[in-house]
Amino acid sequence: MKRLVSDAFFDSAEKNPLKTAIICDGASISYGELAKTVCRYSNFLLENGVEYGDHIGIPMTSSIPCIALFLAACEIGAGLVPINPSMPAAAAAKVFDSGDVKHLIANKAFLRRAGDGLCSEGSHFCLDGDHPGAISFSESEKCSEKRPVCEAVTGDETLLLIMTSGSTGDPKPIDISQNCKHIRAKVFTELYLLTEDDVILAATPMYHTLALRLVLLALRIGAVSVVLPRFTPALWMECVNKNKVTFTIAVSSQLAQISERLNEGADISCIRCVVSSSAWLEPAVKERLIEKMNCEFHEIYGTSEISSPTDIDFRMSAEKKRSVGKCVPGARIRIRREDGTQAQPYEVGEITADTVQKFKGYYKRPDLTKAAYDGEWFRTGDLGYVDEDGYLYFSGRIKEIIVTGGINVYPQDIETMLLELPNVRECAAFALTDDSLGEIVALAASPADGMELSEREIAVACARNLADYQQPRKIFIVDEIPKNAMGKISRVQLGEIFREQIS
Amino acid sequence: MSRVKDYIIDYIQREYDLPKDIDTDSFNYMENGYIDSMGLIQFVVLLEDEFSITFDDEELSLPEFKTIGGLEKIITEKMEAGQ
């Protein structure tokens, strides 16, 4: 039995049971109470049909019960497939199907809206009260507060499946084990010199790996985890001030918004170290933040598959402000030419990485996993170069994803849905740059022969069938979607063409 | 509660319940992060579709649009005006 993540948490709980473990949305829980909750949840799931190796779909909110559930999954060797709670039922069904999800744990609001027809083979659980056909989590109160013995757990089984999409729109679930989560947390605890005295803020949605990473960074070393469920710059600053936050990793679009409010919001001088992630931060924004926040300021580069192989501390490397950093311990970077050979310093090529933080593979897709590697090197699909000192610079993307507000949007997910409309002949989703969100989703569509197509129809179909972050901000109805010389739609070129049209 | 208000509150609570001790009418769902700038587009389109109305840019930027009571009033008035 090897449960490195939950063992570390239970060690923290044993050492300091009265200490606050999590503060979230006006509520808080001590290490001792959280440990009891995790045990009750683990036993409750085992008593209600969840077995070792089962996958559980969970519209994951930033809440104490969801964090306890994550630790319970570590305890019993179950896998979680987190989704955005606002995801429409059909999209959730597709995700759960590709992740072999058997059970569903959700709030009443989700069960009411989308629960019917999902995970009909396994159990439905309701986290916040009663719902017809679902087992209420309030019944876990009666369960044992002892850690369950689960001999089968090795830590190498699936703990999280994070959904992405392949080039054809097929789901491409990123498979992350407990051991992998443990290694990632260990690397960053050492890198940022985190201790039990830190107060660590997670202010991104819990269904992404970043927030869970931040919670775990705190709980495995006995620090305080502060969770902010809903982000606005003012709420973030208030939360930092009120809880005396010392460390956080934020997505760059959040930091861009915060940088505009630094003179008017609450005092945040308690922060010792801030890390920017998920997308490149504009140098001007970076300068402003470094100057005003007066604390350690880092930026990391990475992908969900390999976490973050590079980090830069701008106070130590002031002259490298356009860089996304040097390799963290256990990681190596190699810039790959198209022919597979290694590029020279300053020569742009594909960023590839070999790191101890890497994922298990794409779930049940060994073909896609194999294609993602060049030998031991994971191909990120990003373009970049290194300088003579080994600092990495990001210069663009080969893969056609849209990163809006730090969240990856896969154009194929939007296009596949819209192509089901009878009056859409072809369509393409692409990125347009945006000062506040980094990029926004734009969409070009052409009507089927002899049929009408309006922007409104597209907007309504998207609003009904896609999650909030996938909504196109700009819609262009065109006779023909521009193609490249090969007759292929290039989403990168579309961004350039339509940007000119707007300006 | 009116159908319009029910719809708004249901939508806003898709992820998180509203605090218990608030005056719902004056509650600013944007400032409190229940709907962010990314989610606003979807919310607006669904409201327009549900109540067969169209908002113009000026309405979207009204401070009242961001409170539950204010939004309910804007929608109800538009429906009564037959738009």
pLDDT tens digits for range A101-140: 999 999 999 999 888 889 888 999 999 999 999 999 999 9
Residue tagged 């896998």 (tokens):
A79
* CA nearest to A83, candidates A95, A73, A100, A69: A95
Nearest Cα residue to A69 out of A86, A45, A49: A45
Q: Which of B10, B16, B46 sits opposite A229 (nearest CB)?
A: B16
What's the CATH number where B48 sits? 1.10.1200.10
The answer to whether A194 and A223 have CB atoms below 8 angstroms apart is yes
CA distance A36 to B7: 38
Beta bridge partners of A377: A374
Alpha-carbon distance of A216 to A186, in angstroms, equals 10
CB neighbour class for A392 (10 Å; exposed up to 12, middle 13-18, buried from 19): buried
Instruction: Provide the CATH number for the domain around residue A426.
Output: 3.30.300.30
Taking only the tens place, the pLDDT of each residue in A391-443 is 999 988 888 889 998 888 999 889 989 999 999 999 999 999 888 888 999 99
Nearest chain A residue (CA) to B44: A463
pLDDT over threshold 80, residue A90: yes
Residue A253 confidence (pLDDT) above 80: yes
What pLDDT is stored for residue A493 in this prediction? 83
Position A196 in a domain: no
Which of A465, A226, A250, A257 has its CA nearest to residue B37? A257
Query: Alpha helices of A323-454 — where are they, by DSSP H?
Result: 366-372, 411-418
Helix (H, G, I), strand (E, B) or coil at A383: strand
pLDDT of residue A148: 96
Tokens of A280: 């490149």
Q: Looking at A166-207, which runs of residues are DSSP E strands?
A: 171-177, 199-202
DSSP state of A473: S
Cα A405 to its chain centre, rounded Å, is: 11
Q: Which residue has the higher pLDDT, A175 or A172?
A: A175
Of A209, A467, A398, nearest to B43 by C-alpha is A467
Residue A327: strand pairing partners: A310
Residue in chain B closest to A106 (alpha carbons) equals B15
| Position B59 pLDDT exceeds 80 | yes
**AA letter at B58:** E
Confidence check: pLDDT of B37 > 90: no
Mutate to test the interface with A, among B9, B37, B45, B57 (most CBs of A within 10 A): B45
Of the candidates A50, A98, A58, the one whose C-alpha atom is nearest the C-alpha of residue A78 is A50
CA distance B42 to A459: 8
Q: Would residue A448 count as lying in a domain?
A: yes
Strand order through the sheet with A438-447: A424-434, A438-447, A474-477
Contacting B with CB below 8 Å, chain A residues are 25-26, 61, 85-86, 109-110, 113, 128, 229-232, 234-235, 404-405, 436-437, 459-460, 462-464, 466, 468-469, 471, 473
A359-369 mean pLDDT? 95
Q: Does ipTM come in above 0.90?
A: no
Rounded to 5°, the CA angle A381-A247-A160 comes to: 45
Quote the CA–CA distance of A134 and A66 in Å, as a whole number.
Answer: 17
Cα–Cα dist A164/A176, whole Å: 13
Residue A216 has pLDDT above 90, yes or no: yes
Percent of chain A with pLDDT over 70: 99
Closest by CA to A242, choosing from A73, A89, A85, A28, is: A28
Q: Where is pLDDT greater, at A480 or A218?
A: A218
- Whether the per-residue pLDDT at A484 is higher than 80: the answer is no
Instruction: Inspect the interface and report whether the beta carbons of B42 and A463 lie closer than 8 Å.
Output: yes
Residue among B13, B33, B46 minimizing CB distance to A235: B33
Alpha-carbon span A118 to A225, nearest angstrom: 32
Does B57 contact A at CB distance below 8 Å?
no
Q: Is residue A453 predicted with pLDDT exceeding 70?
A: yes
Query: What pLDDT score was predicted for residue B67?
Result: 96
Is the Cβ–Cβ distance between A393 and A387 less than 8 Å? yes
The closest alpha carbon to A275, from A312, A242, A328, belongs to A312
Whether the predicted pLDDT of B83 surpasses 60: no
Give the β-pairing of A377-386 and A349-355. Answer: antiparallel
- Nearest CA-CA distance, residue B31 and chain A, Å: 7
Q: What does pLDDT average to over chain B?
A: 92
Give the H/E segment covering residue A22: strand A20-24
CA distance A229 to B32: 10
Task: Determine, yes or no, domain membership for A266.
Answer: no
Q: Which of A453, A402, A434 is nearest to A499 (CA)?
A: A434
pLDDT of A465 higher than 70: yes
Structural domains of chain B, count: 1
**Contact (Cβ atoms closer than 8 angstroms) between residue A345 and residue A391:** no
Residue of B nearest to A456 (CA): B45
What's the pLDDT at A169?
67
Q: Which residue range forms the structural domain that includes residue A417? A: 402-502
pLDDT at B1: 66
pLDDT tens-digit readout, A56-76: 999 999 999 999 999 999 999
Using one digit for the tens of pLDDT, what is the confidence trace for A373-389? 999 999 999 999 999 99
**pLDDT over 90 percentage in chain A:** 75
Closest-CA residue to B13 (of A104, A110, A233, A105): A110
The H-or-E segment that residue A455 falls in is helix A455-465
DSSP secondary structure letters along A434-445:
ETTTEEEEEEEE
Q: How many CA atoms lie within 13 A of A359 on its CB side?
A: 30
Q: Which domain holds residue B49?
A: 3-80
Q: How far is A28 from chain B (nearest CA, A)?
A: 16
Q: Which residue has the tokens 């999590």?
A: A22
How many domains are there within chain A? 1
Model confidence at A168: pLDDT above 70 = no
- B42 in A contact zone (CB under 8 Å): yes
Beta bridge partners of A113: none
Longest dimension (CA), chain B: 35
Looking at residue A185, the DSSP 8-state letter turns out to be: H
| pLDDT band with cut points at 50, 70 and 90 for residue A496 | confident
A471 vs B13, B16, B42: nearest CB: B42
Q: What are phi and psi of A127, to 5 degrees?
A: -80, -30
Residue A488 is assigned to a structural domain of this protein: yes
Task: Give a yes or no: residue A428 inside a domain.
Answer: yes
Cβ burial A284-323 (10 Å sphere, 16+ → b, else e): ebbebbbeebebbbbbbbbbbbbbbbbbbbbeeeeebeeb
Chain segment A315-341, per-residue pLDDT in tens: 888 788 889 999 999 999 999 999 999
Instruction: Tell how strand A407-409 and strand A402-404 pair up.
Output: antiparallel
State the pLDDT at residue A46.
97
The SS3 of residue A193 is coil
Task: Provide the token pair at A251.
Answer: 């997505």
Contact flag B46-A464 (C-beta cutoff 8 Å)? yes
A279 falls in which pLDDT band (50, 70, 90)? confident
* Pair of tokens at residue B34: 């229940």
What's the angle, vertex CA A370, arms to CA A176 and CA A156, rounded to 5? 25
Residue B68, pLDDT above cutoff 60: yes
Q: Which of A47, A85, A90, A51 is nearest to A65 (CA)?
A: A85
Mean residue pLDDT of chain A comes to 93
Dist. CA A403–CA A171, nearest whole Å = 18
Position A393 scores a pLDDT of 95
Tell me which chain A residue has its CA closest to the CA of residue B9: A109
Give per-residue pLDDT as tens, A280-290: 788 888 888 98
